Amino acid sequence: MRQYLNWKTYLALIAVFIVGASLYYTNQLAGKLADEEKKKVEELAAALKTLVTSKNDQETAFASTIITQNTTIPLIVTDEKIRIIDSKNIDTVHAISPGRVVVEKLEEFKRLHPPIPADYGTGKNYVYYGESYLLTQLRYFPYVQLGIIMLFLAVVVIALSAANRSLQNQVWVGLSKETAHQLGTPLSSIEGWLELLREEDPNSEAAIEMQKDLDRLKLVADRFSKVGSAPQLEEENLVLRLEGIVEYMQKRAPKKVIISLHNTEAEIPVNISGPIFDWVMENLIRNALDAMAGEGKIDITVTNTPQQVWVDVQDNGKGIPGHQVKRVFTPGFTTKKRGWGLGLSLSRRIIEKYHHGSLFVKQSEVGRGTTFRIILRR
């Protein structure tokens, strides 16, 4: 369960607790207020009976006072046949048909509370009543509070997420530029030693291969130096680009690993920044190699559609557990013993921010492999 417990979860739990406590307390208050209003209506029913049956002036005056003082509780008085005799505190000022409003309110009051009888000896009346405006507000208050809390939480989460992304961006840019700077000095030194090796044996196969790797290291340093600045996108043949990446990675992969490119068209023009797009593909292929025990296959499939180009990188490695799929792009998350967990997060940043596309896990199954999909716009 620890993987699901983060600061967002704790915020949600706190909000649920606050709303739950508020609902309980408000319901208690509403229940007490409803009991008080019921008592007042019972007093009103008794006062109505006193007005009809009593001949004592003081009693009738007191009963009139009780009836007059009720300015909050809406009520309707009916006879034994539920015919409306009188009503009070029901807003009919702006109604086109006041009588219809009172009838509708009577049906509503019947659903809310049982009537309170007023027995006059010669006949029986019934007092139907609703809830005061204050009690209605009190019942709806927790839901208004819930809406305010949820809105507040949404604002907090959005603000903290934006701040977190900004911090991640600063870390990525700083780390990348520092890496490029640190690589500069040893690369210059290696290039000097390589020149000395060529002077001794110009046709040395080792020197030729070392030059290729040196050029690759220079490209890596150049990629790191470009992180944080918007690259220039240029139209390139994606198939030709992928063929170069497959050829380079196949030479450096274990002998029992086969990397294959599948495409139905020889030329698929797309707008990309070649050096950093290569970085993404190399990251995905390297991850696929790490997921296999020195043998297996990696299939790169290119699908051309009128609006988009899909590049699927599929391996038959160990796969990703379902609960980790959503976390693979989180900076710092890694299942390897070594590594900073930045490769996939940087790859997604390159595809989404610089190429305006998307990168996601299309499918993964433990023991059967994983498929990453890159979507590029036409």
Return the amino acid letter for 309.
V
pLDDT at 3: 47
Architecture of domain 231-377: 2-Layer Sandwich (3.30)
Both structure tokens of 255? 């002998």
Residue 323's nearest CA partner among 311, 312, 333, 313 is 333
Reduce the DSSP state of residue 319 to 3 states and report it. coil
Return the amino acid letter for 202.
P
Both structure tokens of 250? 């196949």
Cα–Cα distance between 206 and 99 in angstroms, integer? 102
Location of each CATH 3.30.565.10 domain in the chain: 231-377
Looking at per-residue confidence, does 264 or 53 come out higher? Answer: 264
Strand partners, 261: 300
Identify the band that residue 257 occupies on the pLDDT scale cut at 50, 70 and 90: very high
pLDDT at 163: 80
Both structure tokens of 300? 């790169």
User: What is this structure's pTM?
Assistant: 0.53
* Most confident by average pLDDT, 183-192, 214-223, 269-278, 318-327: 269-278
Residue 265's nearest CA partner among 299, 239, 236, 233 is 239
Burial of 127 (0-12, 13-18, 19+ CB in 10 A): buried
Using one digit for the tens of pLDDT, what is the confidence trace for 115-133?
A: 888 776 567 888 888 888 8
